Amino acid sequence: MVKIRKTKLTTNKARAPARQRKKTEKMLDKNGDLNNLPAQPPYYLKSYARSMWTKVVPFLNSTKVIKQPDRPLVEAFCINYQILRESYKSLAEDGVQVKIFTSLQDNTGKVVGHDFTGYKPNPAVKAIDSASVKINSLGSQLGLSPSARAELASLDIDEDDTDVQEVLKGGNDEF
């Protein structure tokens, strides 16, 4: 089996081979014709997802690498962030385990009570785990992990001194 290495984006003459720099420059030239992501979140994103969109899109647009065709990745990132936050809220309110009850019925089928039968894991735990994995994967693809940001920083194409921490900083209840 032949392993294919992922192409790295770089224009750093000191550290990257000429073919790698040329591929990066070619990709950036082709991206130049594409539109940036809109600053306004899509109407169907709600709450935490909208908030994340407004924090992350300015940074992504400043990289000049993420463009309109990448919009589904950004939407998925924001939606999974919403899932993470809502699941955590459920976990905080209901705990790691939730109670299980069975209905008690009389001879006519009418529910006359509920009998406690035990506990089961809160489904929010699995949702948090799944959303975290997806956020990590999508974030890396979008340049939102430390290593991916370092790779994008090596492009030397952005004259703007955008501080990533400043872009992503938000209030405790939003981010």
**What does the pLDDT look like over 49-104, one tens digit per residue?**
999 999 999 988 887 777 888 889 999 999 999 999 999 999 999 888 888 888 88
Of 52, 31, 49, nearest in space to 86 by CA: 49
Query: Which one has a higher pLDDT value, 23 or 70?
Result: 70
**Range 149-153 average pLDDT:** 67
pLDDT at residue 37 greater than cutoff 70: yes
Residue 170 has pLDDT above 70, yes or no: no
For the record, the structure tokens of 117 come out as 């039968």
Can you state the angle between helices 123-142 and 71-94, rounded to 10 degrees?
150
pLDDT for residue 159: 45
CB 59 within 8 A of CB 89: no
pTM (predicted TM-score): 0.64
Neighbours of 53 (CB within 10 A): 24
